[in-house]
Amino acid sequence: MTDTTLVAEPAPSLQTDIPTTDGLALRGLRKTLGGRDVVAGIDLDVAKGELVSLLGPSGCGKTTTLRMVAGFLAVDGGTVAMGGRDVTPLGPERRPSAMVFQNYALWPHMTVTQNVAFPLRTRRVPKAQIADRVRAALDLVGLTHHATSKPTAISGGEQQRVALARAIVQEPDVLLLDEPLSNLDAKLRVSVRDEIRRIQQRLGITTVIVTHDQDEALSVSDRIAVMHDGRIEQVAAPAELYAAPATRFVASFIGSTSTVSGAFLAAVTTPSAAGDEVLVRPEAVTLVADGPVTATVSRVLMRGHFAEVVLTAGESELRSFVTGPPPVVGSTTGVRIGAVLVYSSGVLVGGTR
C-alpha cells in the first residue's frame, strides 16, 4: 500500500475505561485530515459474531474510520477495543483483525495460493500449517481450482474472494471490509454479497462492512450504522432503520421518501406529532377511487415488478409505488396516505407505522 498516512507506531490511547464487550468497541474515535474533522467522534459496539455495516455517502469518513479500526491509521482521539482489550496503540499486524481493501491489493506476481499465504508467512507460521490453512480458506471461498492462477488471470469476483480468503486465513476475531462489492457488476455483487454473509455466519466472525450502497447494507447486516459528516446518525437493525429513521438524513438516505406538502397534507389522517416536515414512503401512498385528495398522474416509471407513479396536486408532488397495472398518465385518481414520518428540525418526532 502506498498510503502516506500509514503509521508504524500509532499514538497511545487517551482513554483508560476500555469497554468489556467481547466483540469490537469504538469510543470517541476521531481523525482530523486536511484541517477537517473527517471522523468526529464515533461510538460503536459490535457484538461477537455480529455483522454491522457502516453506511453513508462518499466522503463521510467510512474508510478513515475502518483504517483506524484496523490500525493502518493512527487515531487523533478515542479508543479501539477488541475482545475487551485496548488495541489503540497497536499496529495492524498486532491486532486480532484482518482487513479486505476496496481495491483488493493482491500481489500480481504471486499466485492465488501465495497471496493467501502471505499474511501467514509474514507471521512466521510453520510451513505445513500454512499449506493446510490456505487450502481450507480457498475451499471456503470456492477457489480451489484457481490455487495456482495469478490474480490477473481470474475475474473481479474471484479476485474479491482471494482478498476475502487472505483475510479469513488469518483467523481474525474481527473482519473489516471496505466496499467489498463496489468493483463488481450488479449480478456478481449479489452472489458475492450472499457469499460473504454465509462465510461470516458460518465462522461467526465479528464483522464491519463499509458501504455506500443501502441495498447491500440492508440485505447483509445484523445492524446498520448510518454515517453522515464523520458522525453516526443512527444504529439500528435494517427493518427498524427503514421503519423509523431517526433523522431526516437517514430517511432520505435509506429507501425513497416524498415530502407531503400542500393539498396532499389533507390525505394524512393521523398526524401524531407536531413537526415541520411530514415524509411518506412511496409504498404508503395508495391510489384509490375515492380518496381524501384527488391528484393527477403526471408520470409513470416502470421499475420492474412495480411502477413508480408521480402524482401532482396543485404545486405539490408525491410518489407512489403501484403493483399491478399502472394508471394512465394524465388521468386523475384519489390518493390515500398511510404511515408517515414526522420530523422537527431534522429529528424524528412522530409518525404512524
Ligand X SMILES: Nc1ncnc2c1ncn2[C@@H]1O[C@H](COP(=O)(O)OP(=O)(O)O)[C@@H](O)[C@H]1O
- Provide the minimum distance between the beta carbon of 128 and ligand X in the complex, in angstroms, as a whole number: 39
- Give the binding-site size for ligand X (rule: CB under 6 A): 12
C-alpha cell at 24: 469490537
d(CA 325, CA 321): 11
Query: Total residues contacting Mg ion (rule CB under 5 A)?
Result: 1
By C-beta, is 58 or 323 nearer to ligand X? 58
| Residue 329 interacts with which of Mg ion, ligand X, none, CB < 5 to 8 Å by class | none
Distances from the Cα of 116 to the Cαs of 25, 167, 210, 248, in angstroms? 28, 8, 22, 43
Indicate the residue type of 99: M
Interaction pattern, residues 18-57, with Mg ion; x per rule: CB under 5 A:
----------------------------------------
Identify which of residues 158 and 233 has a Cβ nearer to ligand X in the complex. 233
Q: Mark residues 25-54: x for contact with ligand X by CB under 6 A, - for none.
A: --------xx---x----------------
Segments of the chain assigned E as strands: 24-33, 36-46, 51-55, 77-82, 85-86, 97-100, 174-178, 206-211, 223-228, 231-236, 258-259, 277-280, 285-288, 293-302, 307-313, 316-322, 332-337, 340-344, 347-351
Q: Which is nearer to Mg ion, 69 or 340 (CB)?
A: 69
Cβ atoms within 10 Å, residue 96: 16
Q: Which is nearer to ligand X, 66 or 220 (CB)?
A: 66
Instruction: Pick one of Mg ion, ligand X, none as the site partner of residue 23 (Cβ within 5 to 8 A by kind).
Output: none
Nearer to ligand X, 5 or 331 (CB): 5
The x, y and z cell numbers of residue 90, run together, are 497497536
Among 29, 42, 55, 60, the residue binding ligand X under the rule CB under 6 A is 60
103 scored as a contact of ligand X (CB under 6 A)? no
Give the C-alpha separation, 75 to 16, whole Å. Answer: 15
Cα dist. 81→28, 88, 133 in Å? 12, 7, 27
Strands 307-313 and 316-322: antiparallel
Compute the least distance from the CB of residue 67 to ligand X, in Å.
8
Can you tell me which of 10, 23, 61, 245 binds ligand X, judged by CB under 6 A?
61
Residue nearest to Mg ion (CB): 63
Nearest-approach distance from CB 186 to ligand X, in angstroms = 21
- Report which of 215, 210, 242 is spatially closest to residue 46, judged by C-alpha positions: 210
Q: Is 58 in the site for ligand X (CB under 6 A)?
A: yes
64 binds ligand X (CB under 6 A): yes
Cell numbers at 294, concatenated: 384527488
Distance of closest approach, residue 30 Cβ to Mg ion, in angstroms: 17
Cα of first residue to Cα of last residue in the chain, in angstroms, is: 48
Q: Which of 23, 24, 50, 62 binds ligand X (CB under 6 A)?
A: 62
The C-alpha cell at 233 is: 446518525
Bridge-partner residues for 180, per DSSP?
Answer: none
- Judged by beta carbon distances under 5 to 8 A according to partner kind, the member of Mg ion, ligand X, none in contact with residue 61 is ligand X
If one asks whether residue 79 binds Mg ion (CB under 5 A), the answer comes out as no
SS3 62: helix
The answer to whether 70 touches 99, Cβ cutoff 8 Å, is yes
- Residue 24 Cβ, how far from Mg ion at the closest point, in Å? 19
CB of 60 to ligand X, least distance (A): 4
| Closest distance to ligand X from the beta carbon of 57 (Å) | 7
Site membership for Mg ion, residue 63 (CB under 5 A): yes
Nearer to ligand X, 92 or 275 (CB): 92
Nearer to ligand X, 58 or 152 (CB): 58
Whole-angstrom distance, CA of residue 338 vs CA of residue 98: 45
| Chain positions contacting ligand X, by CB under 6 A | 5, 33-34, 38, 56, 58-64
| Chain positions contacting Mg ion, by CB under 5 A | 63
